[in-house]
Structures are given as C-alpha cells and as structure tokens.
Chain A
Amino acid sequence: MNYKITHNTHYSYSNLVNLGYNEARLTPRSFERQKCNHCELTVEPDPTNYREREDFFGNTVSYFTIQRPHQELSVTVTSDVEVNTPKLKCDLVEAMEWSYVHERLQNDTDEEILEMRQYILNSPMIPDLSDIRIYAEKSFTLNRPLLESVVDLTERLYNEFDYDPDFTSIATPLKEVVEHRRGVCQDFAHLGIGCVRSIGLAARYVSGYIETVTDPDKEQLVGAGASHAWFSVYFPDIGWIDFDPTNNQIPSDRHITIAWGRDYSDVTPLKGVVYGSGSHELSVTVDCRAV
C-alpha cells in the first residue's frame, strides 16, 4: 500500500522567542517491509541551520535552529511511503515458546542477540513498576508461544484500559496510567513494553502513523489524525513483530513506521529548547492517505 502523508506541527508563542533549537524525528524509516520514497521537511520561519544525521537507532534526525525573533514555528513533513504486510513465517512463529526465546536471549552469544539485550532493560520512561510482572504473567503462562502471549497481552491492554486523550500528557508517569487504567497510545505502548521486559524479553517503542480513512464504510482506526505509537517484540531468527494495543491488532499495511527506540524519549517526533519568556500553544494535524 502507498501513502501520502502530511504532518504539520505548529507552535505559537505568547511572547517573541529569540532563539530556538529543535530536533525532529519525522522522516519515515526504510526497512524490509517499508520504503520511504520521498520525504520533505519544511520549517517556517526559515531555519538558520538545518542538518540531518542518523541517531543511535538508525532513525533520521533533523536538527534545525531559528536564530531570530519569531512568534510561531511550523514544521511540515510530507512523505510518500510504501508499506507491505509483514510476512510472518507462520509455523515457526506460532510455535516459538516465550521461555525458549527468553533462554536464547540469555545464552546466545551472536552479535544480533547481544545487541537485542538492551531492549530488555529499563529505559528512561519505562522504569520498574511494582506488580507489572504479575500483570504480565497472566498472559505469559507456562509453555505458551510468545506470539500468542503478546497477542493476549495486547488484547488485555485494549480491553482493560480506556483510551482517554484528556487524562494523560507526555509527562504522566506510567504508574498513574496503571492506577487509573486510562491513557493514550504512547501509554499503552509503554505499558506493553514494560510487561514484555518484566518477563525478560526484548521490546521496543515504535512511533508512526495510522491511515486516515476517508471512505465512510471503512473502519477508522484509533490514533488517526495524529502521531501514533505501538510496540514491537523481538523473535530470534525472525525479527521484530509489531503489536498495537490501542487498536488490538498486529499492524499490517495500515501502520506507517517513522522511528523506533527504547521508549518515547528516544524518538520524540519534535523536541526543542527555546529562549524567551512566556507560554506556548501546540497544534498538530496529520493526514495519512492511501494513494
């Protein structure tokens, strides 16, 4: 499936801002089942400096600064992305028990597995949560295949937590999400990762988009019209498989991946430091159409 994506982030400041430094992770990645054919990032006012580089995880980072007084900042990304449904080697995946994966991660010494071990560890926004393992163990029962376990976990997160955009912000600690059983896609992704890691398995955070549906007969997924997030679990010999707890599904060709990392803090779509006083207002629009 091919998508044309337009993603605009707009900041308006109450007072003039003299200097702004920003880092954007908004260029969709290219990997086996996804190809970013074109991507353009426009910043208004015109940035004084603009540079791109690859970060630790291989995501494209756009660094830009604005060195004159401004009261608004607008960042627009337009991209053309081709997404294919992941081909899961079905028998192999379905049979692989989570305890087997756990053991491979502990004992294998090949380069890839050693690198994956960093995704088992806590990360800045996903600290140790008391009882998270007990919660997770309900899905990760004895001899259960990993895929089935995570599908079950995804479904439980979907059923047991309410989607409530008004309840949390980026800074809400995961603990509160668990306490109140509500949150948004980032929170559910973080929670899913926390559960998988508590079992001793490798999981990472994926930021991206979901198709914006225009056809009234087609089902609209939650999270369209904004940036979306889900999580991914590592299967030895196979690779990463994505899970979207907000929509209770394994993403196929309606999820477009921008970047991945340990958690949101590694892949924040647009962050910045500005020098000036006053407050700011933020608005984001995402349009992600199949073409």
Chain B
Amino acid sequence: MQHNDLTHWKKINQGYFNAVLSNSEQTDEMLSNSGEIHPHWQTFIQSLNTLGSEEIVSRHKDAARLLRENGVTYVVHGEQQRHRPWELDIIPFIISESDWKFISSGLIQRANLLSLVLKDLYGEKRLIKDGVIPPEVIYSNTGFLRPCHDLTPEIDNPLFMYAADIGRDSYGSFWVLSDRSQAPSGAGFALENRTVLARTLPNLFGEIGVHRLSSYFRTIQNRIAELAPRQIDNPHVVVLTPGPYNETYFEHAYLANYLGYTLVQGDDLTVLDGRVWLKSLDGLVPVDVILRRVDDLFCDPLELRQDSRLGVAGMLDAIRQGNVVVINPPGCSILENPALLPFLQNIANRLIGEDLQLPSVKTWWCGNNKHREYVLNNINKLVIKPINRPIGAKPTFGSELSQNELNSLREKIDAKPHLYVGQDYINLSTTPTLIDGKLLPRRSILRSFLFAENSGYTMMPGGLTRCEGEQGELTVSIHDGGVSKDTWILASEQEQHISLWQHLKVGQNISAHTQSLSSRSAENLFWVGRYAERAEGHARLLRITLDKMQMGLEGSFLGKPNTTDGLKEIHRDESYNESELTYLQSILRTLTELTSSNPVYVKNESQGLINQLMSIMLDTRHNGSLVSTLHSLMSAAFAVRDRWSTDTWRVMNNIENQCELLEKNMSIYEHSQSQQVSGESDERTLQHIQTELDQLMIFLSALSGLNAESMTQTIAWVSLDMGRRIERALLLIVLCRSCFVAVQDEWIEHLLLESILIASESLITYRGRYRSALHLPTVLEMLLLDESNPRSLVFQLKRLQQQICDLPRDRLGYGLSEEEQLILEALTQLQLSNTSQLAHRSEQTTQRHGLEKLLVRLAQILIEISDVLTHTYFSHVQGQKQLVNTDSQSNIPRDEL
C-alpha cells in the first residue's frame, strides 16, 4: 500500500508520544525509547491514519455494537450478579514475528515440561522424593488431589490444554506471569474478538497479513477426535459448563457452538457401567470426550468435593476405565501453584536437560528460610500471593499496604510460611488503547493458548490481550474493569482461509449426525416457548387496555358514537361511566388472571387502576408481571445459549433492552407518585409505555418468526413449539373465560368481543368473514373451533397432538401414553362442543355454565400435559445426596479473566 505521511497523525497523537517518552520506567509496544514507531506497527498505523480519527471512533462503536448484538458478555459477581458487555478495544496488540517465535518456542517448551511434571506428581513423585520440589509445595496445595493419583493418561502430553499469562517488563523482556492448567478460559473470547475486528476493520487484515486463528481450532478438533476412546467417525464430545451463572458462560456456549459439541451441565450426565452418558430426549447417549470448564475439585462428588452439583458421580472411575477422556484430566490445577515457579528451572534441568527459554516471573517461596527472609525484608516491593488462592482473592501488592497492614501480613507469613510466595512486581509494557476517541498508553497482559498434539504442542497464533481500564491500576483483569484486545501475529505471507468443515476423503460418505439435545436443554427450550408466547399475549392485551383507557371507548369498532373530539384524557374531571367501568373491569379481570395478580377492585377513579396496571406491566417484584415474564424468557434462553443463531440472539438482546426501557418507566412513575405530580406526567409515561410495548411486540414477533422459519424442525424445535402451543391455548382459554362466561350487557359484550378478537390477532379475519356482525357464537366458533385459524384453540391442540406423537418413546403394547391420552381427551371434548349452546344466554342465569365447564377442563388438561412432559421428558435431573458428609465448606468456583 501507499505509505502516506504520518506527520499529521503524529501531531494529533502527540499526547501519546509525550506520555510514552516522559515515562522511562515502562516499555511501550508501539514506540521505541526514542519515540520511533516499531516496524511491525507501521502498516497498521498507516491504515489508521488513512481511516482518520472520526472513522476510527465510528468503527470502534461498530465493534461495541456487534459485541452487544452478539450477546458477548462476562458475568460479574458482586452485590448483584450481572452480565457485563464484553469490551473490545479496536486497536490490536501487535507482536512482531521474531517476538512471536521466541514466545511460542518458550511456551511450547514449558507446556511439555508441565506435562512431565503432572505425570510425575500423580505417578512416581520422583521430583518430591529426590528433593527437587519440597514436599510442602505439593502437599499443602489444595490443587493436589490424592484421588487423582494414577489417573493421568499414559500419553506424552496429558496436559491437553494449557494457557499462560505473559507480559513484557520495562527492559523489554518477556516473563510468564502465571500458568493456567485446569480449564483455561479466554480462547473463545479471543476468537470472538477476532471475528468482530475482522468485520470492523476488514481491509486491514489483508493488507497487514495477520495469522488466522481457525487453524488452531481445527487442530483442537482433530486432536479431540483422535483422543476419543471409541474410534468412530463422529465421537460424541461435550463441553461441561458450570452453567449460566459462571463468569465465562458465554464462552462455553460459544465454543460448543463453534466446535460443534454439545453444551452440558453436570446434571445432564450420568455414569453407568463405568461410562459417561448424556441424558438426552432420545435416551442415553454415550460421551467420549468431556471438554470441561468445571474446576477439578467439582468434577466428581463421590471422590472429590462432596457437595458439588457441577460434576457427575463416577466420572473418575470412567476415566480410570479408559471410557472417557476429560480435557484437562482432574488434578491439573496443581500446576497453577505459584510455589512451583522457583523450582521450575531445576525441574527443567532434571526432566528435559534444558534451561527455560521463557523465564517465570521471579518468585520466592516462603517455605524456604532464605527466601522467606528475602520476602519479609522486601515485602513493600513485592507481590504476595497465598499458594492456595482463595476464591475471588486478589494478589496483595506490598507497595499499597500501610505499615500496620504490612506487619499483619508478615505475621501471617511467619505463622505458615510454606503457604505464601513473594513475586517480583513487573511493570508491564504499555500499548496504545483507544479511550474516549484518544490513543492512550495502557499496560497489558497476553494470555496465550496451547493444545497438545501427538507429540509437542500447537499454539494459537494470537491470544487474548487484556489491558488496564484505568491508568495505574496494579492488576490487569477483565473482572476489574479491564478492556480486551485482539492479538495480531504478523505473518510474512498471506494465509489460506481454513474452514472448520471437514474435508471429505474420496469415497467417504457422511451421515447426518443429529446433535443430541439434553433433557435440560429441552426443558429450557420448552419454557422459552411458553414465556415468549406469554409475553406476547400479555403485551397485546396490555396495549388494548392502554388504548381504551386513553381513548375511552369511542374509538372502538362498534363503539357508541361519541361527540368528543380527539383523545380523552385519563385525568379528566368526570370519572368513567358505568358501562366503561364494567368493560374495564372485565379486561382487568383477564389481566389479573393472566398475571396471577390480586383481583383488582376498580373503584370509580383512575389512579387505583393505573397503579394496578403499572404493577401488572412493570413491577419486577411481581412474579407474573410482563417484565418478570421477560426476565424468565431471557434466563431460559441464556441457559441454552448455544442453540440460537446470531440473528435470533440479536432479537433476544433487543427484547432484553426493550425490557430495560420498560422498567425505567416504573421508577419514573414511582417518582412522580412520591412527588405527587402525577396527572400530566403519568399520561406521558403511559404514552411512552405504549410506544415501547409496540416495539416489544415487533421483537417478540420477530423471535416467533425466526423460531418458526429458521430452526430445523428437530426435537429442539418441537420442545420449543410445544411450549408455545400450550401457552397460546391457555391464554385463549383465560381470555374467553374471564370475558364471556359472565353474561354482560349486550353493548359491553360487543366491546369485549372486539377486544378479544384483537388480543388473539383474529379481528381482521373475523371482519373479512362476517363483516360487521359481532356475535358470540360466531366469535367462539372462530376462536375455539376453526381449524383454519392459526390462532384458534383447536389449531393449537391439533399441533400439540402431532408434536406429542413425534416425541421419542419406547412403545410397550398398543396403549397410548399418558400425554397422548390427555391431548386426545382435550381435542375430543373441544370438538364435540357446540358453539351456539356454549354461547346461549338465558334470562335466568348470569353465567354460561357450559362454556365455563369446558374451558376449565381444557385448562386442567393442558396443565397436566405440561406436567407430564416435564416429568417424562425433561426432569431426568434427580436429587443428589451424600451418605456420609464431611464437608463443611461451601464455595462456588470462579473463573476469572
């Protein structure tokens, strides 16, 4: 490309140059000590310059939008658990080819070495017996798991997956800061960062020549297939996640999806005959390889942490039997022990006869007297870490402590010296980071990922870079508000695009391989269906109610002619007239029934009414409210995150945002109530809500459309659609019951008929068919019995019958299963009914008993069907109990970046 003049660019970014040049204590990744741009940054900077600052800022926003839309989040635990959007800086971390060669060769050596250490510690323990590692380093580390003795696979590299955090110091040297060996996280985020950046800065990749990441994942896939104990074409691989509450759950779902593996939780697995099985909707499916993201200790409640619900009892036995390969094998966390670092050089000499190419950050283990003395004397300059990192604990920086704190830390170390290490504080190099449109130097750490091959390791040509969020922070972590970066390794020549799709060998046939659906996923999909349909139904009815409240009744289809022009105000001086009130009462009864709220008593004043409506719509404390339903929808959807296409997930995100917007109205409303300035402000709030409900309806319809049109009609789709059908049928039943069972004044009945037709999206059809005649029998005909109306009750039941029939089951004899009997009964009862009899109003009674009886029975049956489905197909999840319980601790494992 044409090299343009950077003078202007330098001028704009003079601040960056000044900041770097005035700081002699840190290296900068982009600039040399004399302020020259390093050669490996030049092309990138040229491109940035070509784009121009405004465009860069706008691309940066694009990246943030893409990440948000793709639902890339990191769960933050704190006072309140929340999903934080993943933050990506558009400026990558660029590594020169020579640096890269040095790092990768060093890390591959280290991974090989750690594999040997792992084998020794869980086998012969020569390193301890021969005095290379002091026994306390291993035996007082909670990562050393005695039940895993002799469990490590007999292969060259039992440490399948390895990651290391590395950084560059002020002299320009690289150091390994820590080792991640049990279930390293971040590779998925690195991939997503790359995907987003490639879309945001498409031209740059071609121009600059950046190593692609896909080859790394391809290698993983191949290696995993080789590792499978059953040598079959399509071994069954699962990604074992602790679940949606884990910090990096997004990544678990993302990787499972990308690599084509099934995402499971401990409850989804069972061990029978020394083999691990997935409890799927079609029965038990054998599992060959488990890619675990559950910590060591939580893998098996029989042999490891007894109170764990995240693993499965018998897993260690299945590993011993050679029936399953777990990546990484339980026990690997011993390698994360920082007390190993001071001994690693000797270990390397002993086991491989080499020096470490890439040094570990200088570490002193206080179990050694001399080292302890050094640490105690230099405590204010060092980073102090316990060798057993308590969950969520941060390292202690001596420089940040007061004299008192230093003394008490010294006392702690003196009491149990072998439990502490001191480490050099590395003043990490800075790298240009875009903050509020400006380039600023921020310190950064790189996490690199390696995977074991037959012999040796392959390393991801890239990685996950994290930089400090605020300048001068001592720790660099995403958890504490850091920002992530894509990592570019410059390639000398352009690379071929590697697809994860397998190449067919000549003559090879491929068989369709249906991904197994765990019972838990099926249940979540079922509830996504139910909640989505419920939210849609409620939103539609709420819209009608708001319309009617704002406009009075004159706007209706068959409404009384009214002389008032324009909108009626809610806070008018006169109250609702009697018929308006009766109408509103019926609609509100329906709403309260639907949302399981307390029955409303509509007084002849509007404030109580608005209060009630607000609670039904927006109160998160109220379980049945619209926003609560939306929350339930989101969490059910998140629990099957791996099942959604990118587009579907974007719609989900829109629904979530819309829900947040709606919730804001509640606080505005409550505020105005407390200020007693309601009236006009309430009216505005209600109008806002209406607009937002309209928007919500669009997103919910989009979701429904994507579900119907873009999901393969496998068992996953059936689960979701059954949920929708059951919910839609139940909604319709509630609508009909609360509006038509009680005999009303004819004029009010007409209004109700019209509202219900709107609420069930059938008004247009009805008008087209029957013109302007609104009669209960014809309306009932259309809502209950019309098979051609996709909103009718019979339509839902027929569909449900078909789906129930398609469910996998072991047929014993000729009898029908319980759910088949139930749906048959419902359909028969409905189809045998006669709408004119159901609608008949006699002078003597105030109730239509026949209608009531039918609807009550149908509702009962539908609820029973839902229960039977849950019981038969979904809840293979059983209570787990310990016969002897010696655990008194209870901590939830964390996965922090």
Contacts and interface: CB of A to CB of B under 8 A. Distances in A.
Interface of A: 11, 18-19, 21-23, 48-49, 51, 53, 55-57, 63, 65, 67, 109, 111, 114-115, 117-118, 121-122, 124-125, 128, 170-171, 173, 264-266, 268, 270-277, 280, 282
Given A21-B271, A118-B139, A273-B313, A171 B149 contact: no
Interface in B691-743: none
A114 B131 CA distance: 8
Contacts of A56: 146-147, 149
Given A55-B146, A121-B136, A271 B302 contact: yes
Contacts of B303: 23
B879 A275 contact: yes
A55 B149 contact: yes
Contact of A67 (B135, B272, B882): B272
Contact of A271 (B146, B270, B271, B882): B882
Contact of B886 (A57, A111, A265, A280): A265
B273 interface: yes
Given A266-B146, A275-B313, 5 more contacts: A21-B302, A48-B273, A121-B140, A265-B886, A280-B883
24 contacts: A19-B878, A21-B271, A21-B314, A48-B272, A56-B149, A57-B146, A109-B131, A111-B130, A114-B128, A114-B131, A115-B128, A121-B139, A128-B416, A170-B884, A171-B888, A266-B146, A271-B883, A272-B302, A272-B884, A273-B301, A273-B883, A275-B879, A277-B878, A277-B879
Interface string B138-175: 01100000110100000000000000000000000000
Contact of A124 (B131, B136, B416, B886): B886
B411 to A, nearest CB: 14
Chain B's interface: helix, strand, loop or mixed, by majority?
Answer: loop
B270 to A, nearest CB: 7
Interface string B862-880: 0000000000000000111
B885 interface: yes
Contacts of B272: 48, 65, 67
A265 B881 CA distance: 17
A114 B886 contact: no
Contacts of A18: 878
Contacts of B416: 128
A186 to B, nearest CB: 10
Nearest to A51: B317
Contacts of A63: 317
Nearest to B126: A111
Contacts of A21: 271, 302, 313-314, 317
B884 to A, nearest CB: 5
Contacts of A115: 128-129, 135
Contact of A274 (B128, B274, B306, B883): B883
A203 to B, nearest CB: 14
Interface string B18-35: 000000000000000000
In the complex, the 5 A-B pairs of residues with the closest C-beta atoms, listed nearest first = A118-B139, A56-B146, A272-B883, A273-B313, A56-B149
Interface residues of B, number: 37
Interface of B: 128-131, 135-136, 139-140, 146-147, 149, 270-274, 301-303, 306, 313-314, 317, 320, 416, 418, 878-888
Contact of B135 (A53, A117, A266, A277): A117
B302 A117 contact: no
B882 A272 contact: yes
A226 B416 CA distance: 37
B881 A273 contact: yes
A280 B883 CA distance: 8
Nearest to B135: A117
Contacts of A280: 881, 883
B302 A171 contact: no
A92 to B, nearest CB: 25
Contacts of A273: 301-302, 306, 313, 880-883
Nearest to A118: B139
B136 A117 contact: yes
Contacts of A51: 274, 317
B640 to A, nearest CB: 24
B878 A271 contact: no
Contacts of A276: 878-879, 881
Nearest to A15: B879
A169 B379 CA distance: 43
Contacts of B302: 21-23, 271-273
B129 A111 contact: yes
Chain A CB count within 10 A is highest, among B130, B146, B887, for B146
A170 B886 contact: yes
B129 A114 contact: yes
A133 B249 CA distance: 45
Given A56-B146, A122-B140, A270 B888 contact: no
